[in-house]
A and B are shown apart, each in its own frame.
Chain A
Amino acid sequence: MNQRGSFYRKIAYLIVIAVLLLPISRLGAPSTLRDEGGTLAQLREEYDLGQADLGEIDPASETIRFATLGMRGIAVSLLWNKANQYKKTEDWTNFRATLRQLAKLQPYFISFWRYQAWNLTYNVSVELDDVQDRYHYVKKGIEFLKEGTRYNRDNPILLAELGWFIGNKIGRADEHVQYRRLFKADNEFHPADRPPEQRDNWLVSKKWYQQAIASVDDKKRSLGNKNPTTFYATVPMAQINYSDAIESEGTFGEKARSAWELAARLWGRYAHRDLRSTQGFYIRLADQEKWEQDLKTLEQQLQKMGPGIQETLSQERRKELSPEQLAALAKTLEEQTDEELELAEKAEASLRVSDRDIVERIVRDFPEKAAAARKLGTRIAEADSRIRMIGNNRQVVNYEYWKARCEIEQEHSALKAHELAFAAHRAFQNDADLIQARQLFEESFDLWAKVLAAHPELPDDSPTGSSIMDTVSEYALVLEQLDLSLADPQVAEKFPLWNLVEANDMERKFADAIEAHQKRGPEAEGRGQEDEGSEQDRGQHSKQE
């Protein structure tokens, strides 16, 4: 009986197994060239989840992961620990060798590539003193990240990171002059078919950013939690940085102008791109003025729908104010005490009549217009929300400044001002020709004064101001060697950039000169000339128009 029971039980098991095999076969059938396979294979294909879709399949990686026999986690933990130990004991050779082993074990772990590439490029490189050695490790980090992009094809995060490393580490580090030179001369890094003029780190970084953007736009890869506003700004910013860099290295004229022109074009294209905002809707940075116009029109329509409501509401609220608040409001800012200031602020807030308040009053007083008013209110709120969202995103990338900068830098005066400043720098540093350097600096400042006066949208404390300030500091050194200073009246009266110096003298290097200038009165000195210059420039500007 027992034997028979056991036999029947085994038969039952076999039947259950056979039955279960049917759905498994349906679900798990692999795809072939002719057949699209089971459900799982189809889903894998649909969502690009197959290993071949992730990137390069490396036999070495596959073998080593298989060879760990399920102990991969332990092996990875040990190797991470080992890598940390090597880093601590400054054994960079073994550190890199350990990273290579880790790369074979966890090739699809994005954070690993980002973290360790950063480690090499940013942390290990600075441990060494020699610039060549530093560059070696900067490059090794970049190559490591590049290896990561081969395993993780079309990953926008890694591609953008690669662009960032090549652009910002090489172009912004303290050693950027040396790094950029080494990068251009690096035959081992660049593909053989890359022409010398394309071996600029900013241009190479732009290419990687373009690949990152293409992976999102064309391959529909996810950006994760990366901000689209900064992500899409990378390409025009790389071009801007390139244009800026070549000027600082002495390339001017048509080449510099066309570089800035391309930057302006790319910035314009970026401004017209649909960007997903944090609130879910899409915005375009260029659309702010359009939305502001729409808002104005809608508000006018609202005013027409309920004429005089705003004034009525304002008067009603004024009546509700306490005598103390009214008294505080009646005083000027200088006359107000702290307490009165607070009262006045609260009173002003309660007096403010919003579009929503007007809509609510129309709904209450004119029920026949309620539906139209509500619709208008919704449209106003939407326009308002878009304006705020665009404004916020514009601030994130300093939109107005870069837009203006790209336009200004194409102008002859700005190009010439850069060229003169560079020539002055060369005359001072290379030829020690102080007279010539001073003259060139002053010509450059005159041109800058005209450019700045013609473009009030470029504030004095902008990055341009800070960059001109470096030139002013060098000019001060020239003056010093000529036994002069910016505080001397004969120098100060010709100097046209006092506003800029006042706005950018963070280290208070020119505090005495500024004080002397202020005592003499701006009209007596450069301001007058600046204004004169700006008038001339405006005249030219209007003629051109």
Chain B
Amino acid sequence: MVLEHEILPYFQWLLYGADESLGALPRFFLIVLAVALLGLLLGAIVNVARHGLLRGGDRIYGIVATGFRELFSISPRRTWALTSLAMKEAWRRRVVVSLVLYLVILLFASWFLRTDNQEPAKLLLSFVLMATTYLVLGIALLLGAFSLPGDFKSKTIYTVVTKPVRAGEIILGRILGFSLVGTVLLVVMGGCSYIFVIRSLDHRHTIDASSLVRVTDREGTLIGYDGRTSTDAYHHHLLELDTEHNGDSAVTSGHYHRIEGHGEQVRVLEPTGYLRARVPKWGKLRFKDRKGVDKAVGISVGSEWTYRSFIDGGTLAAAIWTFSGIDESIDDYLDKEGLPLGLITRVFRTHKGVIGRPISGAIQLRNPQTGLKSDAITFLAKDAQVDDQFIDRELPDSEGNTIDLYNDLVSDDGELEIWIQCLEQGQYYGYAQADCYIRLPDGSPLWNYVKAYISIWVQMVIVTSIGVTASALVSGPVAMLFTVSFIVLGFFREFFVWIANGPSWGGGPVESLVRLVTQKNVISKLDPGPGTTLIQGIDDVLQFFMQGLAQLLPDFSALSTIGFAAHGYDIPGDLIAQDLTICLGYIVGLSVLGYFLLRTREIAR
């Protein structure tokens, strides 16, 4: 599971933010203030130019004062009436066709999705969630962008505005109406896609009982059977069964089967473990280099992807996670006492070592307060897989004395350090912060699936809000283009922000264009001269505006939780709460903006 950004607790995110950044709420207010001031300035310029200083000022005051009065006196009843109207309109525009399209996509998906890989559930989940996202965003875009312009064109807006409704209610009603329609679509899509995933993953194996090999002890007494299942769905499982032919198959392609013996008949039950919702408790990662000196990151092994950094084996280098909030209740869900760990290790070899033998490493637990350390627990790295480790509660320290994990190794404020070292010289282990966690009881895969759909729902509502707001001012096609730009930039927000902040190579938008046209590489500097100065001057101005725009762009890639569901991790409640709050922020902000934009239209005054 790749987790590029740390997930902050909800209230920290809302009020304070991460290090050196603002909380979401203060940032929201700052953006609202900036947009309001900008709007006021623009409105003042236009009104003063058209009506003179005094009358223009008067109009501005009137609009703002009325606006505030109207916005604070929005009627839920009237809004609901407009919401119903929007829903009826959406229904009339045959949104249900999208469901047919979705079913067609699912029907033909198997042409492109073969489950002959090691993670079939990941592939199927990624596909259905991605397809749902794109389709629903497309529907939201069309509904939102063409709704008001269509009403203007067909003059049905006159019927609405002659009723006692306010412009704000029209905008909010549309957003809520289309969002509700989208919600219904999402529920149906979610149900269909879940059935599709479950059905696609379902398979059975058979076992030829006569092919099972008897396993006996030294005295020749039967102690079980070894064997393998038939090959179905591109894989088979190895078996170690008891004398009654009962047991679990080995895990292959992320699942296993329960095996039941009925006399000579052996039955393989349905696959288990394909869909999971592991609940990790993540810690903070730091490193020690080969001399034992603290470092924020480890060694780069030359990989282009810098998500993980590495520690070298046979030295003092270590990856250290500090976990907080550790107490005895962590193992309550297990039938044994200790610390359940999840560990993902990436192995990098600089020499072949012993082919076929994994690289060995050691885990140590340390009390950050007292410095007491457990003796090293050796393990063999399972490269790029989730390795479920279990640390017993009673374990020896480096001098061989028995110590208690919770009493001796957890500090008074509930902190515990986990040290991991690679033991073989010339070999490396690679880690990122999310690669080591404490395993809490698994969540419900179905609820996790629902949470992934909630994230899609959030994205849909944001796109609907942008579309409706834009369509209050401009025509349908322009509103659509505007919203599409928002979506595209939203999906590539990180790149956009990187350009806006002045990249270390390649230059800003105009410089990049010049380099493209002149086929110049991105590293060498442009020849100094007035042309270059002009290009960089324009870029500075553009980058200023881009930085401003970046504050308004929704980060769709961050809003997406497909990665969690596809990799079998529980989507954190904090993340869902953050997404819903962002969604609410966009609805409120865009409704207000939409209100003022609609007021600029003659019809809505």
Contact = CB atoms under 8 A, between A and B. Distances in A.
B59 interface: no
B305 A128 contact: no
Interface string A168-209: 000000110110000000011000000000000000000000
Contacts of A133: 118, 383-384
A128 B384 CA distance: 7
A130 B382 contact: yes
Contacts of B123: 93-94, 97
B359 A188 contact: no
B252 to A, nearest CB: 10
A136 interface: yes
Interface string A132-173: 010010001000000000000000000000000000000000
A175 B356 contact: yes
Interface in B1-38: 2
Contact of B112 (A101, A174, A175, A187): A101
B72 interface: no
A97 B113 contact: yes
A178 B356 CA distance: 8
A174 B355 contact: yes
Nearest to B307: A89
B384 A90 contact: yes
Interface residues of B, number: 31
Interface string A51-95: 000000000100110000000000000000000000011111110
A90 B358 contact: no
Given A129-B358, A130-B358, A94 B126 contact: yes
B231 interface: yes
Given A90-B384, A101-B112, A130-B382, A187 B118 contact: no
Nearest to A188: B231
Interface in B35-87: none
Interface in B345-383: 346-347, 349, 352, 355-356, 358-359, 381-383
Contacts of B236: 188
A199 B35 CA distance: 71
A438 interface: no
A284 interface: no
Nearest to A178: B356
A89 B347 CA distance: 15
B349 A129 contact: yes
A94 B120 CA distance: 10
Interface string B331-357: 000000000000000110100100110
A418 interface: no
B305 A100 contact: no
A92 B305 CA distance: 14
Contact of A93 (B111, B122, B231, B307): B122
Interface string A374-396: 00000000000000000000000
Contacts of A64: 111-112
Nearest to A130: B383
A104 interface: yes
Nearest to A97: B123
Nearest to A95: B117
A60 B352 CA distance: 43
A174 B359 contact: no
Interface string A441-460: 00000000000000000000
A131 interface: yes
B71 to A, nearest CB: 43
B114 interface: yes
Interface string B219-248: 000000000000100101000000000000
B384 A131 contact: no
Contacts of B118: 92-93, 133, 136
Interface string B109-146: 00111100111001100110000000000000000000
A131 B122 CA distance: 22
A96 interface: yes
A129 B352 contact: no
A94 B126 CA distance: 9
A128 B359 CA distance: 12
Contacts of B112: 60, 64, 97, 100-101, 104
A97 B114 CA distance: 8
B304 interface: yes
B162 to A, nearest CB: 44
A187 B359 contact: no
Given A93-B122, A188-B231, A131 B305 contact: no
B546 to A, nearest CB: 23
Contacts of A136: 118
B32 to A, nearest CB: 36
Contacts of B114: 100
B127 to A, nearest CB: 8
A176 B114 CA distance: 28
B383 A96 contact: no
A26 B139 CA distance: 48
Pick from B118, B307, B358, B381 the residue with the most CB of A within 10 Å: B118
Contacts of B122: 93-94
A93 B383 contact: no
Contacts of B346: 90
Given A60-B111, A130-B382, A130-B383, A90 B231 contact: no
A330 to B, nearest CB: 57
A468 B439 CA distance: 54
Contacts of A93: 117-119, 122-123
A92 B122 CA distance: 11
B304 A88 contact: yes
Contacts of B349: 129
B119 A88 contact: no
Interface in A96-119: 96-97, 100-101, 104
Nearest to A100: B112
Contacts of B111: 60, 63-64, 104
B530 to A, nearest CB: 36
Contacts of B305: 88-90
B151 to A, nearest CB: 31
Contacts of A187: 231
B580 to A, nearest CB: 28
Among B117, B123, B384, which residue has the most Cβ atoms of chain A within 10 A?
A: B117
B207 to A, nearest CB: 15
Nearest to B122: A93
Given A60-B111, A188-B234, A131 B307 contact: no
A66 B49 CA distance: 55
Interface in B455-478: none
A90 to B, nearest CB: 7
Contact of B359 (A97, A101, A129): A129
A91 B382 CA distance: 16
B347 A129 contact: yes
Contacts of B347: 129
A100 B114 CA distance: 9
A178 B383 contact: no
B498 to A, nearest CB: 16
23 contacts: A89-B307, A90-B305, A90-B384, A93-B118, A93-B122, A94-B126, A96-B117, A97-B117, A97-B126, A100-B114, A101-B112, A104-B111, A104-B112, A128-B383, A129-B347, A129-B381, A129-B383, A130-B358, A130-B383, A131-B355, A133-B384, A136-B118, A188-B236
Query: Sorted from nearest, which 7 A-B pairs have the closest CB atoms?
Result: A129-B383, A60-B111, A129-B347, A93-B119, A131-B356, A88-B305, A93-B117
Given A63-B111, A94-B123, 11 more contacts: A88-B304, A89-B307, A90-B384, A93-B123, A97-B113, A97-B123, A100-B112, A101-B112, A128-B383, A129-B383, A130-B382
